[in-house]
Structure 1
Amino acid sequence: MSENLIVYYSRTGTARQVAEAVAAHTGWGLAEVREKTPRAGLAGDLRCVLDMLLHRKPPYRYEGPLLAGCGHVVVVAPVWLGRLAAPMRAFLQDNMPLPGSVSAICVMASRGAFRAEDDIARLTGKTPQPALVLQQRDVQSGAASEPLAAFAAALCKPATTPETVLRPVWISPKEV
């Protein structure tokens, strides 16, 4: 397990832009989850809503190498209705267990990325480390370039000894 891979799904192109930026920083390969039926226009929007509300598993195509040889997989996906986008959810369900470790970047319009990261953790059985939440407008304006560079640097940091994972104080429970 030596290959590292960035797997992304992008309906609008924003998550693709994020995945390409991380690949440029790390030199890691890209793999894409594509839908068999495009989601253009109002009909596509409606399918997004129905897939999420009804927990449907949309058909998809995976364009990339086999995951069996991957030492680390970065999942890059949008957030739909406060959860992980249905095509990426379907892909993860079909490709479990993932070998090696998992990281995640969730791109949201305004909210829900933390629940999407929870979806990735639940589906893979692994806590994504590192994990990053981005707003779509920050990606499009270029304001996300610094957090993306820091994320990529964390990916490339050589693993020497296990480190304690510290959660931001606003997430962690108070010690009594």
Structure 2
Amino acid sequence: MKVLIVYFSRTGYTRRVAEQLATRLGGTLCPITEASSRLGAWGYLRSVCEAAFGLQSEIGKVSVDPAQFDLMLIGTPVWGWHLSSPVRAFARAHAVSVNRCAFFCTMGGAGAEKAFGALEGELRRAPLATLALTDREIDSQMAGAKINAFVSLLSAAESASAPGRVPDGSHLVAQ
């Protein structure tokens, strides 16, 4: 199975999770890039405003053809309980290229379900599984068990074609 891991990361949390997923799945990393910076207070404010209003940002061209992969994992930070604007832009531009997908997000505390719902709407496709991690979980190394469970769920879903979910809690729940 060829896996593509597409993600945007403003602070590095989503990148760290994407890298762990690539290692565990043998996937290809594909960061979403932008021309303008999101650093500092202005970058943070712009990020939250764009996300809250459902805007998309100008992103760079991706380095690979998403249609060439069997499974695409899409990673996003949650900004103000919303899907990030760079990931929204990617989803709108590449929705027809997505064969099968799974979502993961990083966040300060809440908003995963709303962000996943927006991403599902943009792609017009339900994910095989989702993974939501808080920044605190990532910093404390507690994320490893949830990432392993997500990878196991993806492997099971790939074999059985059954969707599932890794919730914010510690239990796996079938959808």
> What TM-score, normalized by structure 2, do the two folds share?
0.87
> Is this contact kept in 2: 1:69–1:99, CA < 8 A?
no
Distance 1:105 1:99 in 2: 15
Cα shift at 1:61? 1.3
Partner of 2:110: 111
Residues 114-156 of structure 1: per-residue CA shift (max 9 Å, x gap): 1111111111111111111111110121111110011122223
Residues 43-79 of structure 1: per-residue CA shift (max 9 Å, x gap): 1112112212333321111443111212110011100
TM alignment of 1:14-163, pairs within 5 A: 14-157=13-156, 159-163=158-162
Residues 24-59 of structure 1: per-residue CA shift (max 9 Å, x gap): 111111101012101111111121122123333211
Structure number with higher relative contact order (C-alpha < 8 Å, ≥ 6 residues apart): 1
Q: What secondary structure does 1:6 align onto?
A: strand
Q: What secondary structure does 2:30 align onto?
A: strand
> Is this contact kept in 2: 1:31–1:62, CA < 8 A?
no
RMSD: 2.3
Structure 2 gaps of 5+ residues are 168-172
Aligned pairs, number: 169
Distance 2:165 2:30 in 1: 30
Distance 1:165 1:132 in 2: 10
Distance 2:166 2:15 in 1: 28
Question: Higher helix fraction: Structure 1 or Structure 2?
Answer: 2
Distance 1:167 1:101 in 2: 17
Measured at CA, do residues 113 and 164 of structure 1 come closer, stay the same or move farther in structure 2, by a change above 3 Å? closer
Letter matched to residue 147 of structure 1: K
Larger CA deviation: 49-58 vs 86-95: 49-58
Structure 1 gaps of 5+ residues are none
Cα shift at 1:16? 0.1
Larger CA deviation: 7-16 vs 63-72: 63-72
- Percent identical pairs in the alignment equals 27
Measured at CA, do residues 44 and 130 of structure 1 come closer, stay the same or move farther in structure 2, by a change above 3 Å? same
